[in-house]
Amino acid sequence: MPEGYDKAEVNRLIRYHSEISFNLTSQRTALESALIPITAYITVACVEAYRRYPEMMVEIAAAMSPEEIGRAGRTVGNEIDTVRMWSIANFHFVGRTVLAGAGMLDFEQDLVRTATVLDFWKRAASGYRGDDGTLQAADADGVVTPFTRYVEEIASQCVPIVDADHLSRISRLNALLTSYEFLLWFDTRSGYQDSGPYHLPDGRVLLLRHFVKMGVSDFAWSANVAAEMPFNTVLCAFILDGVSFGVTDFGTAVTEPHDYLPHVQAFGLFDSADGELRLIDDAGIAELTAAAKSAQRAQYRAIAAMERSEKIDCGAYVYFSFLRPFAVAAGIAELQDWTVPRDSLDLYPFLSLIEGAPEGVEVPDPGMYYVPIP
């Protein structure tokens, strides 16, 4: 048992996560798609997470402190971000819920396993949040500002919007990159993450959107579809006027007004690989646009040709590997086993049949969204 944890503290944190995650999932848009069995692969990934994350987290923490790993997420160009921080705790809880429903949870062992995950998450989240006393976006009214130290550099290089055609090109680029990443990451928004609001001295506000792992990566399918992508990680910067927004723990900006693009006054696209920012010029944007269109078409054809089980396995890998960036920061990612499915094979025949999100499930108390330890 990690120091400072007992059943009362674990149950307090279970309730804390329950309330936040209940609100997040209640607000989420459609979960299932006609192309990919999302719910099936999520449940497979989360059972894997429950059964494997605690041991993997112990190994990662032995190589580098979770606090330092979290602080690494405050540098551009990596994948330690808001949704992955949320996920490393909540995937454990979802897998725990599945196993509890199947009568396969040993609560005595569960106490230690859950405490191990919560300890790693809490320490990493504290570092990611800049040690400001908060642990999630929900604690800070939607303020997520890991890249504060880059704001002056970014704002100074953003290009003013000159006319409606210029704004339209930016809108199309944003739509293309989000739809490409959505498909590459098997119908999950986690390939791109918003952060902000970053308030500028002149009263305007900066919204940053980080697109990661766009090219060839640990995703096995990426080599066949993304080999021509000229950039692997890019940062979109939108300087907005007359817009307020917050960011959820899914890493999604919620703006007022909802359509913020007409309020974009300046824009910049940066290559953010290797922790550095390099402004991408018009030629680079054109190259990225052409490559993303081609890769998106190739990825759609590849998924459409897959058997159901292959789609589930790929999607489960995407979710299970949300812990991988933490291992990358600690320098041990290649020493750990990221095979999926592996430890869910006993339940896989059942889980792989799941279609759509459950309906009619009522949770009178959001704090009981995840069951406490009895």
Percent of residues in the chain assigned helix, strand, coil, to nearest 5: 55, 10, 35
| pLDDT on residue 71 | 98
192: CB partners within 8 A, 6+ apart: 177, 178, 181, 209, 210, 211, 212, 251
| pLDDT on residue 34 | 76
- The 10 Å CB-count burial string (b at 16+, else e) for 142-169 is bbbbbbeebbeebbeebbebeeeeebee
Coil, helix or strand for 47? helix
Distance, CA of 331 to CA of 194 (rounded, Å): 26
Contact predicate 33/95, CB 8 Å: no
DSSP per-residue codes, 116-185: HHHHHHHHHHHHHTTSSS--SGGGGTT-B-TTGGGHHHHHHHPEEP-SHHHHHHHHHHHHHHHHHHHHHT
Task: Determine the average pLDDT of the residues in 250-258.
Answer: 97
Query: Does residue 341 have a cis bond before it (omega within 30 degrees)?
Result: yes
Angle at which helices 7-27 and 107-128 cross, to 10°: 70
| pLDDT on residue 363 | 72
Domain ranges of the chain: 7-142+308-368, 148-304
Token readout for 316 is: 């489960």
235-247 pLDDT per residue, tens: 999 999 999 999 9
Distance, CA of 173 to CA of 183 (rounded, Å): 16
| pLDDT on residue 361 | 57
Distance, CA of 92 to CA of 170 (rounded, Å): 38
337-361 pLDDT per residue, tens: 999 999 999 999 999 999 876 554 5
Give the torsion sign (CA, 324, 326, 327, 328). Answer: positive
| pLDDT on residue 29 | 54
266-292 pLDDT per residue, tens: 999 999 998 999 999 999 999 999 999
> The pTM is what?
0.96
105-114 pLDDT per residue, tens: 999 999 999 9
| pLDDT on residue 355 | 85
